Amino acid sequence: MANDQTSPFLYLDNVSKKETSSNQVFQLLAPQNCSKPLQKTESNQVFQLLVPQTKINDTLQKAESSNQIFQLLETTQQLQAYSTNTIQKAQTASFQIYLPGSGDDIWRSGLEHIDWSDQMGGSGSDPAYYTFATIAGYYLMVSGPGASKAEGGYGGLSDTGSNSIRNNIKFVLNYANVLLNADEYISKISIVCHSRNAVAGCTIAVKLRELYPQIAISLVAFDPVPGPGNGEFEVIKLPRDIESTVVYSIASGYPVGFTPSEVYNAKRYIISTQDHGGGIENGYNDPYTNRNLRMIDINRLPSGCYTNRNQAGNLRQIYSLDAAMSFCKAMQEGRIGIYKKVAATMLLPLPLSMLVISDSISVIPDIPDLPNRRYVIGKVSREFFEVD
């Protein structure tokens, strides 16, 4: 069919529907009345742009995929088309890696827009993992040590079993190598990770940068904790050319064994009063836009060091090592005060107050772990502000 220049769209004829991304759909169907063509867009954005012109039933609020957009457009019979065989596949694709701690079930339910596969692996040295793929990219979730369907790990308290740090690193790197060699259009990789799996995620980011310098890499690591016997992961130096955020909790909520890794060269650090998993579910609020940022979007924050003193995730940017250490010291001392008060009320020696509920707040005495955390936060903050 010929191209009708009076039409607001350029339509497709011979391009494979299953091998076309949302971005390519928009570029090929670009409305001439758009003053500023978009360089990238999601399926829903494409749908919203096309609705006013194609008069598709406005009760449909979202197009689930590029292929569905094609099907919707074909039913209108309002657009002229032209043929092209030059583009066989999306020009860009992403690879999103999720590495939760032991609570991978919570992560999957929180990422409800992703239709995860059934669990694969989960025994011996074969990690438990889940996958999903669309035209625009690939998704991989690898459970952390002690996850409910992973072998061993004792609920995340031990770096053992099928999903140990080392097993997960090896598995993800092998998976990425196969995928990147199979699909030359993958141009970016994002990694969101927590706890022992945050140690794995940071290590994976370092290795992927060495292997694939042409690919953009983003990393958000929540409270990376290697655990006893993992001295090789005590210090991790991230590449300076990746987008990265590392979150440190001033207290883990556990008495021992949760000293975090020293992760250097991140573009953003968040020092949080929330416990070990703080910020994963509720995210953090950008202090300049008040926008709530979650998971990989936390990398939208301007580079810098931030403090968070409440469960709401409100952030405040700080500009010196003294400010970072004063915040950490004050928040830890406040926590110790709560423990002492509760222990006195319960007539128990402080070390024996393993779990006390007072004023609807559950607290676990992690006092032995506090100095170690302050030491690590101090070292990393000092390096950050000296370099910055």
Residue 2 has φ and ψ, to the nearest 5°, of -80, 160
User: What does the pLDDT look like over 80-113, one tens digit per residue?
Assistant: 332 222 233 346 789 999 999 988 888 998 888 8
How much is the pLDDT for 61? 39
pLDDT exceeds cutoff 60 at 51: no
Lowest mean pLDDT among 47-51, 240-244, 252-256: 47-51
Q: Write out the chain in H/E/C secondary structure.
A: CCCCCCCCCCECCCCCHHHCCHHHHHHHCCCCCCCCCCCCCCHHHHHHHHHHHHCCCCCCCCCCCHHHHHHHHHHHCCCCECCCCCCCCCCCEEEEEEECCCCHHHHHHHCCCCCCCCCECCECCECCEEEEEECCEEEEEECCCCCCCCCCCHHHCCCCCCCCHHHHHHHHHHHHHHHHHHCCCEEEEEEEEECHHHHHHHHHHHHHHHHCCCCEEEEEEECCCCCCCCHHHCEEECCCCCEEEEEEECCCCCCCCCCCCEEECCCEEEEECCCCCCCCCCCEECCCCCCEECHHHHHHCCCEEEEECCCCCEEEEECCHHHHHHHHHHHHHHHHHHHHHHHHHHCCCHHHCCCEEECCEEECCCHHHHHHHHHHHHHHHHHHHHHC
Lowest mean pLDDT among 3-17, 259-273, 353-367: 3-17
Between residues 163 and 41, which one has the greater pLDDT? 163
Domain borders along the chain are 1-91, 93-327+369-387, 336-366
pLDDT exceeds cutoff 50 at 57: no
How much is the pLDDT for 275? 86
> CA 245 to CA 197: how far, in whole Å?
15
- In this structure, the chain runs to a length of 388
Cα 92-289-139 angle, rounded to 5 deg: 30
pLDDT band (50, 70, 90) for residue 365:
confident
User: What does the pLDDT look like over 22-45, one tens digit per residue?
Assistant: 444 444 444 333 333 333 344 444
